[in-house]
């Protein structure tokens, strides 16, 4: 028995929510450890769809504890709205099943505004990132800049005003430079005191809670957001998010030691998608790209933006296997490939006439690489809802085997529809 870390191995939206929901039946606690409400995780349970952004996907299962770790940036308004939305869907949320780290950073309205001001200004110069405009980047900047307001500060009205002054000194200087109105001390104090009563009941010393539960033998499932290619260090910088998304962050972002992480499960889409700007070597601008987008319903959960689609890039996922220490993968959306005559898998790149087996870190080189493809025969049969290998056509099995060989990691789970139970178990990550 071990703990499990779920990470996205591509540019996000690999189906982490569905797999975390499926795995959470076997877990006691589900922990988010980075990112914020830039994430959009969709679960489909008996035809009902649940969309989660900030709350761990385990929250929909009665009897499971959901934890928001210190590595997450928490927008209190988004938190309250998401709790209310889920309660309307019949999900019960209280401190009995949700804890938020008292040392987690808060996203304030000024972070959301700064994200939008910057993206708007960058749009005019053609340098935007295409962020979710949720204030994620500005909030992490303040955390690293040691001027963030944290959950626990809401309970300390003696020190809070000084902290508000400190964050405003920085933000008002920026706002003056951007030519936008300054924010007053009273505005931020009112914002914080108005949400304090809704947030503070969930606060906990999360590292201590997790340590006690670990000692009692609880099974812990860590739920990553975004994907490894959006990692602030290992991703396609600067077209990335502002946190470390790789598995190592599960330790630092929750307060558990790396020795407790256990099985690292890389959620991997059977093709590739990306939302926002940035390099995408296997992107398809043709009918096949269109086919994948329509069949896979590739529209962002958070912003509704159309996701860019392309062939599976084994070179990139091989890189993610290394940077995360992936033990095995959950291969999702195989069903979307049904009906294609042939399938391509990128095995490496050509860069300035040379053959390379990984994506270089330089932005210029990332834009110039050309994929080298392996072509496989497709299949005509439907794999939608397949629940065993026996239900898969031979060519689909061949595709899966080829993926495993090229990325250097085995398939532990295979997903064949958005529904919770349309999942083939090969190896139970909790028992590995």
13 is catalytic: yes
CB nearer to ligand IMO: pick between 108 and 225 = 225
Task: Give yes or no for residue 13 binding Mg ion (CB under 5 A).
Answer: yes
Please state the closest distance from residue 322 (CB atom) to ligand IMO, in A: 20
Alpha carbons 293 and 287: distance in angstroms, whole number:
10
Question: Among 55, 110, 136, 314, which residue sits at the site for ligand IMO (rule: CB under 6 A)?
Answer: 136
Alpha helices in 257-328 (DSSP H): 287-295, 314-324
Alpha carbons 95 and 127: distance in angstroms, whole number:
43
Alpha carbons 32 and 134: distance in angstroms, whole number:
17
Alpha carbons 298 and 311: distance in angstroms, whole number:
14
234 is catalytic: no
Please state the closest distance from residue 135 (CB atom) to ligand IMO, in A: 8
Partners of 356 in beta bridges: 349
Answer for the pair 429, 24: CB distance below 8 angstroms, yes or no. no
CB nearer to Mg ion: pick between 198 and 305 = 305
| Of 69, 327, 71, 23, the residue nearest 211 (C-alpha) | 69
Answer for the pair 25, 243: CB distance below 8 angstroms, yes or no. no
- CB within 8 A of 70, min separation 6: which ones? 101, 103, 104, 206, 207, 253, 254, 255
The residue range among 10-18, 62-70, 84-92, 141-149 that interacts with ligand IMO, by the rule CB under 6 A, is 10-18
Answer for the pair 38, 299: CB distance below 8 angstroms, yes or no. no
Task: Give yes or no for residue 230 binding ligand IMO (CB under 6 A).
Answer: yes
* Token representation of residue 79: 């938190």
| Of 63, 108, 99, 315, the residue nearest 208 (C-alpha) | 99
143 is catalytic: yes
Question: Among 7, 11, 12, 24, which residue sits at the site for ligand GDP (rule: CB under 6 A)?
Answer: 12
CB nearer to ligand IMO: pick between 39 and 288 = 39
**Catalytic-role residue among 111, 143, 171, 234:** 143
List binders of ligand IMO among 310-329 (CB under 6 A).
none
CB nearer to ligand GDP: pick between 277 and 419 = 419
Alpha carbons 15 and 6: distance in angstroms, whole number:
10
Using CB under 6 A as the criterion, what x/- string covers residues 256-295 for binding ligand GDP?
Answer: -----------x----------------------------
Please state the closest distance from residue 298 (CB atom) to ligand GDP, in A: 8
List binders of ligand GDP among 43-102 (CB under 6 A).
44
Q: What one-character-per-residue DSSP string does 239-283 give?
A: SS-SS--STTHHHHTTT--GGG--EEEEEEESSEEE-SSS--TTB
| CA atoms within 13 Å, Cβ hemisphere of 14 | 32
Please state the closest distance from residue 21 (CB atom) to ligand IMO, in A: 14
Using CB under 6 A as the criterion, what x/- string covers residues 264-283 for binding ligand IMO?
Answer: -----------xx-------
Please state the closest distance from residue 298 (CB atom) to ligand IMO, in A: 11
Q: Which residues bind ligand IMO (CB under 6 A)?
A: 8, 11-13, 38-41, 129-132, 134, 136-137, 225-227, 230, 241-242, 275-276
Catalytic residues: 13, 41, 143
């Amino acid at each position: 028995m071990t703990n499990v870390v779920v990470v996205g191995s591509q540019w996000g939206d690999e189906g982490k929510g569905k797999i975390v929901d499926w795995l959470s039946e076997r877990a006691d606690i589900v922990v988010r450890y980075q990112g914020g409400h830039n994430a959009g995780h969709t679960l489909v349970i008996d035809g009902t769809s649940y969309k989660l952004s900030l709350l761990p996907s385990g929250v929909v299962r009665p009897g499971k504890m959901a934890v928001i770790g210190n590595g997450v940036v928490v927008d209190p308004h988004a938190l309250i709205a998401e709790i209310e939305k889920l309660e309307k869907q019949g999900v019960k949320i209280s401190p009995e099943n949700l804890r938020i780290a008292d040392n987690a950073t808060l996203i304030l309205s000024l972070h959301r505004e700064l994200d939008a001001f910057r993206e708007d200004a960058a749009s005019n110069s053609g340098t935007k990132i295409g962020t979710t405009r949720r204030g994620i980047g500005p909030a992490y900047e303040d955390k690293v800049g040691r001027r963030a307001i944290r959950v626990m500060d809401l309970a300390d009205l003696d020190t809070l005003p000084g902290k508000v002054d400190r964050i405003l000194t920085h933000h008002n200087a920026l706002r003056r430079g951007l030519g936008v109105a300054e924010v007053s001390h009273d505005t931020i104090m009112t914002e914080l005191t108005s949400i304090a009563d809704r947030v503070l009941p969930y606060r906990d010393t999360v590292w201590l809670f997790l340590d006690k539960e670990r000692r009692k033998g609880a099974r812990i499932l860590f739920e990553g957001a975004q994907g490894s290619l959006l990692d602030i260090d290992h991703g396609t910088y600067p077209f990335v998010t502002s946190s470390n998304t790789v598995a190592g962050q599960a330790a630092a972002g929750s307060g558990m030691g790396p020795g407790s992480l256990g099985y690292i499960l890389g959620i991997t889409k059977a093709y590739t998608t990306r939302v926002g700007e940035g390099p995408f070597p296997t992107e398809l601008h043709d009918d096949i790209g269109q086919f994948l987008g329509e069949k896979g319903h590739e529209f962002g959960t958070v912003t509704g933006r159309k996701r860019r689609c392309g062939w599976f890039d084994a070179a990139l996922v091989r890189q993610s296997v290394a940077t995360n220490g992936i033990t095995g993968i959950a291969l999702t959306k195989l069903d979307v490939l049904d009906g294609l005559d042939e399938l391509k898998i990128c095995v490496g790149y050509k860069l300035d006439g040379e053959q390379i087996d990984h994506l270089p870190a330089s932005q210029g080189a990332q834009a110039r690489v050309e994929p080298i493809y392996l072509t496989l025969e497709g299949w005509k049969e439907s794999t939608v809802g397949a629940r065993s290998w026996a239900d898969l056509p031979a060519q689909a099995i061949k595709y899966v085997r080829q993926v495993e060989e090229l990325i250097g990691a085995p398939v532990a789970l295979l997903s064949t529809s958005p529904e919770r139970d349309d999942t083939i178990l090969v190896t139970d990550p909790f028992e590995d």
